Structure 1
Amino acid sequence: MLFSLSNPWLRQTKRIDAVVQEFFLCGTGYNSSRPEKSYKIVGFTSYFNELRTDYLKFAMFEFATNAWKIIDHASYVAKSTREQSLRYNNVSLNGNLYWPAYNLETCQYFIQILDFSEEIMKPFCIQPCEKKDSSYTRVLAVYKGERFSLLEQCKTTCKIEVWVTKKKITNGDDGEDVVWIKFMNVSIHNFPRFYHKFSRYMVDNNIYGKTLVMCCSYRKNDQAYVYIVRGDMCKRIKIDEVPSQFRWSIHVPSLIVFR
């Protein structure tokens, strides 16, 4: 399997031979413990063991060494943990990937981290959500470049609550001191459902007030829209020539050279 990375600004393309037949891209990160950022890409692939049981392994490629590393998913994630899809619902911050997860034993929603420096997965912090059922969609995003925001939407009413972390998330932060504060509520008639695979959002607080921006699909007419919510105002902008089931892409800063 062969795929490529392209940087249009530098007119640079790098082709990579994958070590597996199927590779589902999850995201990018880097080793923050080194003076120079050593970028990596990570994804997962399915394997069959001797019992013909399908299970996941992670594949990580490092640009500095041009080498692949296969990581056994089972050795990093506890059996009591149920994760939302890492492929569609993760964010990159300080070189690491973060995504929502759920502990079946404690009934706690928490944030999971893939640490690119240590190449391990571990729980990071508890989510602010109090609901203990699956009737809510929970999505993570980066707020102001150095903090987290968490969107929770009721699948029945489509009402939304958004939290943000009080302080910035730094390298070496173990997550124990993370404090969440309520950012905004959204209760608008006929507001769309948020789908992990085909939706993204961001929030901001500036001179115009607290704002929610959502890019998602509208299933009734198979069309993608951008929704801008500020107070009681909701503006919908159609995205022409974009199908409803669009995929998100990964962005690397434009002046970063692929090594």
Structure 2
Amino acid sequence: MDEEKLPCELIEETLFRVPPKSLVRFRTVSKQWNSLFDDKTFINNHKMTYRFILATKSKFYSVSITPKIQVRELTLDIPYLESHTPKKLVDCNGFLLCGMDKGAVVWNPWLGQTRWIELNQPSLYFNGVGYEYGNRRLLESGYKTLVSYQKESDPTKTIWQIHDISSNELKDIVLESGGGSSSSSTTKEENNANIHGESVSLNGMLYWVASYQKNNSTLFLISFNFSKERFYKFSDLSCGENHHCDVLVLKVFKGDRFSLLKQYHLTKKIEIWVTKNKIIENRCCGDVEWMNFMEVSTPNLPDLVRPSYYIENKRLVVCSCDKTGQAWIYVMGDKKLITKVQIDSMVDPSPLHCTYFPSLVSVPRGQKEAALQV
């Protein structure tokens, strides 16, 4: 007799309940299962999927939104974690980069995997995780971080370095400006860039919202290319002139585009702008078209404080803190605020937070760890 096969719907329903660590091992069962685990719809429907990560001085939490808001404490497998204070939390396209006062952690919270990075250099700022374009083999040797620090002799200058996660080696790239490069191959525009907010990682490159130091009202995107080891002006932004108190947050949209949240300081109005087409590595300034995707305007909308957000089914979901430091979730749609929910009191005031979409990409190992694994 031919072996009976379970219906695809039943297989998926069963796998929705399997712990993420087991899903990684099940990739080798069949091509069908491997493709299923790369399907974002499958991951989004998994029972352990969440949308935000919060960090306090000593604890980390996940926040699920549907069907109801749930806050769960997460374990970060780092010895003596209580002696390290989180300074920043950045979503790096499948990983999280958690900058500490004495190093950083590359982390996949869904799989419970961590890689501790400690460099013998004071006051390093870890900007984000990327890789050389065309070299995304999802192996440990491909991933790098971009780090920076202020020059002691001239605090207005920033020194940039590339850190190889596998070898734990630092490489000077001789970049000495606030977001630009002092090399002869860099234009005057990039050299005078003033970076706003945290980086976004897409296709191995890092991106920031930036403006010109002499005219902060003109906004554009600046990118760092790990293959060419330099900054580029990527595209102009279509959201109009900027007030210095306006809120600007860049995110990845639909996995291959950008979205930009802008909240106007004076009116509290929110606009969401998205790129019309997929973003590719060699797209240059002038090729990127931005569209006004959504607007939310209501007298009850508060000032957003370092917000993180995502867009799903024409809804905008935002995590932000109020003036007292209490974290809130705001759900918006149809040009208005639909609901707001205070996050559970188990979370300390003024937590770091970021959006996180679970992935099955394993955290890069060091060379010694990889050798032991073999």
The two structures have a TM-score, normalised by structure 2, of 0.59
In terms of Rg, which structure is larger?
2
Partner residue of 1:66?
Answer: 168
Residue 331 of structure 2 aligns to which amino acid in structure 1? Answer: I
Distance 2:327 2:248 in 1: 20
Alpha-carbon displacement from aligned partner over 1:194-251 (angstroms, at most 9, x marks no partner): 233xx201223x3xxx2111100011x4310110001135211221222442224697
Match of 1:80 among 164, 186, 192: 192
Residue range with higher mean Cα deviation, 221-230 or 55-64: 55-64
Distance 1:19 1:45 in 2: 13
Residue range with higher mean Cα deviation, 229-238 or 1-10: 1-10
- Whether the 8 Å contact between 1:163 and 1:184 is mirrored in structure 2 is yes
Q: Quick check: 1:33 aligned with 2:139? A: no
Distance 2:363 2:348 in 1: 32
Partner residue of 1:109?
Answer: 219
Change (3 A) 1:175 1:19: farther
Residue range with higher mean Cα deviation, 166-175 or 9-18: 9-18
- Whether the 8 Å contact between 1:218 and 1:244 is mirrored in structure 2 is no
Higher relative contact order (CA 8 A, sep 6+): 2
Change (3 A) 1:26 1:243: farther
Structure 2 unaligned runs (5+)?
1-101, 183-189, 366-374
- Whether the 8 Å contact between 1:20 and 1:45 is mirrored in structure 2 is no
Secondary structure of the 2:347 match is: strand
Secondary structure of the 1:25 match is: strand
Partner residue of 1:171?
Answer: 281
Shift of 1:138: 1.9
Paired residues, what number?
247
- Whether the 8 Å contact between 1:48 and 1:54 is mirrored in structure 2 is no
Partner residue of 1:131?
Answer: 241
Distance 2:240 2:112 in 1: 48
Shift of 1:12: 5.2
Structure 1 unaligned runs (5+)?
none
Change (3 A) 1:159 1:10: closer
Partner residue of 2:209?
Answer: 100
Residue range with higher mean Cα deviation, 210-219 or 19-28: 19-28
Secondary structure of the 1:242 match is: coil
Shift of 1:79: 4.8
- Whether the 8 Å contact between 1:9 and 1:255 is mirrored in structure 2 is no
Change (3 A) 1:250 1:138: closer
Residue 245 of structure 1 aligns to which amino acid in structure 2? Answer: S
* Aligned sequence identity (%): 30
Distance 1:160 1:250 in 2: 18
Distance 1:5 1:104 in 2: 32
Partner residue of 2:322?
Answer: 218
Shift of 1:36: 2.4
Change (3 A) 1:230 1:173: same
CA RMSD of aligned residues (A): 2.7
Q: Quick check: 1:17 aligned with 2:118? A: yes
Change (3 A) 1:6 1:133: closer
Q: Quick check: 1:203 aligned with 2:304? A: no
Match of 1:237 among 329, 333, 341: 341
Secondary structure of the 1:60 match is: strand
Distance 1:110 1:23 in 2: 26
Change (3 A) 1:14 1:80: closer
Alpha-carbon displacement from aligned partner over 1:96-134 (angstroms, at most 9, x marks no partner): 111111124675310010112222111100001222542
Task: Report the structure, 1 or 2, having the larger strand content.
Answer: 1
Secondary structure of the 2:343 match is: strand
Residue 150 of structure 2 aligns to which amino acid in structure 1? Answer: S
Secondary structure of the 1:33 match is: coil
Task: Report the structure, 1 or 2, having the larger helix content.
Answer: 2
Distance 1:59 1:151 in 2: 29
Shift of 1:193: 1.6
